[in-house]
Chain A
Amino acid sequence: MCRQGLLPAGHDTKAMLNNSGPRYKRSKIERRMNTDIFFCIGLLFLMCLIGAVGHGLWNRNFKDHPPFDVPDADGHFLPLALGGFYMFLTMIILLQVLIPISLYVSIELVKLGQVFFLHNDLDLYDEETDLSIQCRALNITEDLGQIQYIFSDKTGTLTENKMVFRRCSIMGSEYCHQENAKRLETPKELDSDSEEWTQYQCLSFPARWTQGPATMRRQGGAQPLRRCHSARVPIQGHSRQRSVGRCESSQPPVAFSSSLEKDVTPDKNLLTKVRDAALWLETLSDARPAKSSHSTTSCIADFFLALTICNSVMVSTTTEPRQRVTIPPPSTKALGTSLEKIQQLFQRLKLMSLSQSFSSTAPSDADLGESLGANMPPTDLDEKDNASVCTGDFSTDGGYRSSTWDQGDILGSESGTSLEETPGAPTLSLASPEFCYEAESPDEAALVHAAHAYSFTLVSRTPEQVTVRLPQGTCLTFDLLFTLGFDSVRKRMSVVVRHPLTGEIVVYTKGADSVIMDLLEDPAHVTDIDVEKKLKKIHARTQKHLDLYARDGLRTLCIAKKVVNEEDFRRWASFRREAEASLDNRDELLLETAQHLENQLTLLGATGIEDRLQEGVPDTIAALREAGIQLWVLTGDKQETAVNIAYACRLLDQTDTVYSINTENQETCKSILSCALEEVKQFQEPQKPDRKLFGFRLPSKTPSTTARTMAPEVGLVIDGKTLNAIFQGKLEKLFLELTQYCRSVLCCRCTPLQKSMIVKLVRDKLSVMTLSIGDGANDVSMIQAADIGIGISGQEGMQAVMSSDFAISRFRHLKKLLLVHGHWCYSRLARMVVYFFYKNVCYVNLLFWYQFFCGFSGSTMIDYWQMIFFNLFFTSLPPIIFGVLDKDVSAETLLGLPELYKSGQNSENYNLSAFWISMADAFYQSLVCFFFPYLTYKDSDIDVFTFGTPINTISLITILLHQAMEMKTWTIVHGLVLLGSFLMYFVVSLLYNATCVTCNSPTNPYWVMENQLSDPTFYLVCFLTPVAALLPRYFFLSLQGTYGKSPISKAQKIDTLPMDKRNLEIQNWRSKRRPTPVPGVGQPTHGPVPPVPEQDFRTSPPKSSIPPKRKHMEDWVLRGQKSSRQCGRDGTCSGDSSAHLSSGEHLLGPNKALAPETYSRGQNDVSQHLTRGGHRRSQSSLTI
């Protein structure tokens, strides 16, 4: 059946509609540069004007035309004004070098070089994906060094986007999967625990399970297989830890299937229950259900069936790439069989030998042997076998079949499929030891893998049927009647199937907990009072578990079921088909029909899936923050999940004061924002005191260090609805002002559009440099909105990468990318640009000064060609090399002292003052370079171009030496290029002056250089002038170098030390800078006591968020486990976990001083006033 309807494609897809198209990005330096070029143009015009006016005045001196005032070819003289105008134009041509066209070319070359080195950095290379950084935008490398705000996606960016099944709750009972958690904590020690693990597997399965050992063997055998790739790969000084289990060398890289996700260690407790459930399920085939539908056993069975069925996961095997095909025509199938068979056999043999060599336990070996033997029997036998073992209503009405395969069957059926297709299992290659599940989202895959661990295996999926293998090996084939796909409005998906055993039509629904919990059948409607009580209890408990999961940073999903009677279903189905076929309002109709079906659900349970933090994320975030970068997380996830991830990655600290704002109402939002703002202002100055806000500066008092250490850091958590209110209520200004005081901002439940709106808001209103980083299609608009978009080439396709400027493979690469490469790129390019301006002005001014001595006639004392060569060859390469290679501070120091990044943020290397200082220096130097030779040769018989030669030489030496002083790191390349430029000048000049007898009138520079080189005065001038010209600059540089207070010059000083001393110095510095740790709970010491009127507000809303949080803390059964989980996730930090646990208490810190009475009173007051527009479950709250 063809799914009717039109799929939006191409430009109509959501991804494309959200995508505003490419934005031409210009780096900050280039923008700055363009304004400075206007300055240069102004300067040029001024100089030309002086030339023109001077020319007029000079001409007015003479009553007659002097002999040196040559008329034009016809013997006519120009009128004075016209002559002046022509002189203006002549001067423009003469001095046009002032506008550094060559700068643009050089910048492009430099950026190319920078990108080359960026691309070649081993530290930004990810071995597992074999990807180094991709620089998709070549023109904004230096912006990496000026970032002030980072907007990060959460899923896939901070986290791996590798979903790992962690916990589940079925019918109100929690299964915490302790062993699984343990396994996840110690991913690095897999080799040692593998044996235990297999043993455990054997123990947990009772003896009779050996009759269906296929799954077990599979698991046992497969386990060691993915062990093989944990290794340290030392590559000449670059040793990187390869995170275990990400690279599947023994199997093709299929999306969403890493061992982490696949391996779920079953909960012992649950396993036994599942066994019962499976048994129970089998009894279904014998007789109609004896037990009530609400029994735990049946629910467990249903739960796992739902996990297996209710998704859109496609199954493929290692041997067959994909299994999306519907039942293929048997004839074609038959042709290719023999080959396939052999191939599969080989594959299997190979795999088995592999697994044999790895697995150490006897049982699996034995199993393998068995399986090998079982592979041999002829196909007829299989067929028979099949028929005989198949249980249940094999050929009852229409849709469902089931079959049981034992191990041999599985193998046999694989080899036999071709000849005799079992209709229920089309093209199954069950014998393949690994199923590869390809899912739309990693969550789905995680759930299927989880079910698989409990031996509910998804074997095949076709548009019409789903086959599930039960623990006993029985295969159930469900007829897929309808699939109501996931969409963001409903936030759930459902499948409608016909149960093969009972024949009932069952709807399995899976979705966001907030939605599902609303759609459950009302316990009050149930007649039986006991059942009602039980249902209520289950709902409450499940809700509790869900909150618990969310607190723990798990992604929650609810699983529910509904049995529909035939008649209702038939009626609904016709509606549905109509809706699917309709042309108008199709989406609405589909939504409506879906809503008709998805109600009165019976809750089965809930799952918690963990999205693991990427390696090095907390460290990176800490470093970025130290670098003065504000990090905002914009995520579509739930608030609780997001907040917990934020704590885990140290975005929020347990000592932080966190404000959460959830409201839909604009007025409420406004009052909350302003109150929060006032309160924050009480004990804190803005983070960035003089940042422009809406054109005018915020009050900028330099906060005393003591005040800052006393004040707690502030975090802000805000959700999508509140953001809506902010944007609609024109509260942006208030919001931004509040965020100025916040260390980190967390926006949850954001739509892609909102993400980009926030980025644009911050970018435009605060006029700061922003960077967005994300991995999915939903981050595309945000990536494009920011000044720099970084895509993470991860699990979610290429959209983010395609729209990004830089694509990296791990979040932690951001650290080196920004702190080192960004800093370098910025400082190199900025200083190169400044140098270029200096160079051009310095050189061109020489010509300008000469105008005062040649009657403003536009004469030059330097030969044209030498002038062109000067810019083109003699002085072009050193700045480029400088721009590509210079390192003002070494990479190690930059990484060790992230605060050095601030120099780029503040545009220290290239700002207005830097520009004008260098301009002034250029004027001074050009004056020296001109007037020293002038005074030397004054009153002598020197001719024009002989005078030009020392000037040219002097300016070359000065400009090169100036460059040499700018270079902080001298390598052989730097030296060679500088020396080469210098020598090239002389060689080219000598050759040119020796060969050019009559050429290039009027210069005719024949033998000028040679003549000068034989004159001692030339050397005297050429030595003295550069010394005098560079003296001030050198003096100030030495002052700065020796006594400089700026962090950069201090870091440069550190860099000159030997390695061990350097590290010591860096540590000293860091320990000096870091404020004394804020006494955690001892907050009350801060500032003055807040005024009374505010207390209401401060205390009011936490009702909904804080107390439950606390309660949950108490309820949390597995405290120890949680803390250890934190530990494992973090990898490096162990002390963090305990502190984390008590975060709730810390959050309450500022409130502690308040009396309990006011506390509760306030709550009532304001919560009433706040909840008006609030969401049902996440009330407006301001958490302090």
Chain B
Amino acid sequence: MNWGGGGRKLMPDNSAMKQQKLPAHQLHFSARVVLTIFFATGVFCFCMGVILILSAQSIQEIEVCPILLYLFFWYWGLNPGGDVYMYYKLYGFYQNHYRYVLSRSNNQLVGKDIMVRDVEDCAPFKVSQNKTPIAPCGAIANSMFNDTIILSYTLKSSVHIQVPMLKTELTWWTDKYVKFQNPSLINLSDRFVGTEKPPYWQAPIYELDTSDPGNNGFLNDDFIVWMRTAAFPTFKKLYRRLYRVQYFMDGLPAGNYSFNISYNFPVTRIKGEKSVVLSTLTWSGGSSLFLGLAYTVTGAFLWLASFALMAIHMTMKKKKLSYRR
């Protein structure tokens, strides 16, 4: 007997791993486990759905379509309370178009490569006709939304107060402080010497906000918001947020409001529409009525499934019993 010696050189190891005998748990869908899982998940989903729907109810949103008039009145019946955000909403603007999304230079926007030397992505909005580089380059920047929307509150029959709005902190923090950087903060216009404004623009990048010099260049909030390309052809983008002072400490009070919109951004060419949205936020972020409904419906389906399983289980049991007899 060659125990251990040369006799059994090729004998496989007798380890649990190699013999495929690792301690294992059989995943088996037994009636009890399945029913429990279905029921529990169903209950959870249903509850979650109800909560979400309720919370969605508390969101107040109003959409105004400035089709004919750039100035009109309407009556705001409820006091929304808390923060109010003003969005502009575009219909049928494909910000997610492949070539459009590509048409930007992140290096330029971060302030490193103002002259857009190394990236081709921006073409044909990379250089102007006289070969000077465009800042900011690319189609996204070129097509920036440039309407001005002014919301007015009719305090008395003839007194219109412009609702105070903030145009900062509209963006992600990281966008403002990491992804978008001006070449230098002091004397912005100098830094953009040698560049040209995009062809559709009326003012150069360093004159986007004449009222606030800090909100200019690549750091302009409207610009940053626009540069974050929307996922769907119909989208809204944050335009202003309510500055809660005076009459507007608790949001927008009930009353008559009017919009004064300077029409700059063409939408007829894109066969689209634009509108203004005023909205409040809830804990779950934006509107979540769908999520609530989806949760409720899924929960209902789970219950249905568990009831069906139970019914099948019962009949089978009966059958088995009768078969045994």
Contacts and interface: CB of A to CB of B under 8 A. Distances in A.
Contact of B236 (A117, A939, A946): A939
A1081 interface: no
Given A1053-B28, A1056-B26, A1004 B270 contact: no
Given A1017-B285, A1043-B316, A238 B14 contact: yes
Contacts of A1020: 48, 52, 284, 288, 291, 295
A936 interface: yes
A946 B14 contact: no
A1077 interface: no
Given A1017-B285, A1052-B28, A69 B100 contact: yes
B12 A66 contact: no
B107 A941 contact: no
A396 B233 CA distance: 117
B294 A942 contact: no
B4 to A, nearest CB: 11
B309 interface: yes
A855 B94 contact: yes
Interface stretch (A464-472, A717-725, A857-865): A857-865
A64 B11 CA distance: 77
A1042 B235 CA distance: 47
Contacts of B95: 68, 944
A212 to B, nearest CB: 35
Given A67-B143, A68-B143, A853-B232, A121 B12 contact: yes
A900 to B, nearest CB: 15
Contacts of A249: 1-2
A1011 interface: yes
B99 interface: yes
Nearest to A969: B24
B100 A1006 contact: no
Interface residues of A, number: 97
Contacts of B156: none
A1169 to B, nearest CB: 56
Interface in A930-956: 932, 934-944, 946-948
Contacts of A1027: 41, 45, 298, 302
B110 interface: yes
Contacts of A999: 106
Given A127-B8, A947-B231, A971-B22, A73 B13 contact: no
A1006 B178 contact: yes
Interface string A846-860: 000000011101110
B159 interface: no
A235 interface: yes
Contacts of A70: 97, 99-100, 102-103, 124-125, 139
Contact of A66 (B10, B11, B18, B269): B269
A1021 interface: yes
A69 B271 CA distance: 13
Contacts of B87: 941
Interface stretch (A627-635, A669-677, A1032-1040): A1032-1040
Contacts of B237: 941
B199 to A, nearest CB: 11
Nearest to B290: A935
A130 B97 contact: no
B28 A1041 contact: yes
Interface string A231-249: 1000111100000000001
A986 interface: no
B121 interface: yes
B121 A969 contact: no
Interface residues of B, number: 97
Interface string B274-309: 000000000111111011001100100110010011
Interface string B71-109: 000000000000000010100011111111111111100
Q: Could you say which of B19, B104, B232 has the most chain A C-beta atoms within 10 Å of its C-beta?
A: B232
Contacts of B13: 120
B271 A61 contact: yes
A969 B22 CA distance: 10
Interface in A718-734: none
Nearest to A948: B231
Contact of B286 (A130, A968, A1017, A1056): A1017
A932 B312 contact: no
A999 B179 CA distance: 11
A1028 B29 CA distance: 18
B214 to A, nearest CB: 22
B174 interface: yes
B119 A1015 contact: no
A854 B97 contact: yes
Interface in A91-133: 117, 119-122, 125, 127, 130-132
A492 to B, nearest CB: 41
Nearest to B268: A64
Q: Could you say which of A120, A858, A967, A972 has the most chain B C-beta atoms within 10 Å of its C-beta?
A: A120
A69 B100 CA distance: 7
B159 to A, nearest CB: 33
Contacts of A968: 26-28
Contact of A132 (B10, B93, B120): B10
B96 A944 contact: yes
Contacts of B12: 119-122, 125, 132
Contacts of B200: 67
Given A938-B232, A940-B287, A969 B100 contact: no
A1049 B237 CA distance: 54
Contacts of B238: 941
B313 interface: yes
Given A941-B230, A1037-B29, A1056-B30, A1042 B23 contact: no
Contact of A1052 (B26, B48, B121, B301): B26
Interface string A831-859: 00000000000000000000001110111
Contacts of A763: none
Interface string B24-65: 111111110010001001000100100010000000000000
Interface string A994-1024: 0001110110101100010001110011001
B172 interface: yes
A228 interface: yes
A817 B229 CA distance: 58
Q: Could you say which of A249, A1002, A1052, A1053 has the most chain B C-beta atoms within 10 Å of its C-beta?
A: A1002
Contact of B22 (A72, A231, A236, A972): A972
Interface in A973-1006: 973, 997-999, 1001-1002, 1004, 1006
A183 interface: no
B140 to A, nearest CB: 9
A1042 B31 contact: yes
Given A69-B99, A859-B97, A1001-B119, A1055 B291 contact: no
A944 B101 contact: yes
Given A67-B270, A127-B8, A944-B101, A72 B124 contact: yes
Given A853-B233, A940-B287, 17 more contacts: A62-B270, A70-B124, A73-B120, A122-B11, A130-B7, A228-B1, A235-B14, A236-B14, A936-B290, A941-B286, A944-B95, A965-B27, A969-B24, A969-B25, A998-B110, A1006-B174, A1027-B45
23 contacts: A68-B143, A69-B100, A70-B124, A73-B120, A73-B123, A120-B18, A120-B19, A121-B19, A122-B14, A130-B7, A235-B14, A857-B99, A885-B20, A887-B24, A935-B290, A937-B231, A940-B286, A971-B24, A997-B179, A1017-B284, A1024-B294, A1027-B302, A1056-B26
Interface of A: 61-62, 64, 66-75, 90, 117, 119-122, 125, 127, 130-132, 228-229, 231, 235-238, 249, 853-855, 857-859, 861, 885, 887, 891, 932, 934-944, 946-948, 964-965, 967-973, 997-999, 1001-1002, 1004, 1006-1007, 1011, 1015-1017, 1020-1021, 1024, 1027-1028, 1031, 1034-1035, 1037-1043, 1052-1053, 1055-1056
7 nearest A-B pairs in the assembled complex, by CB-CB distance: A1041-B29, A67-B143, A73-B123, A947-B231, A857-B98, A120-B12, A1038-B34
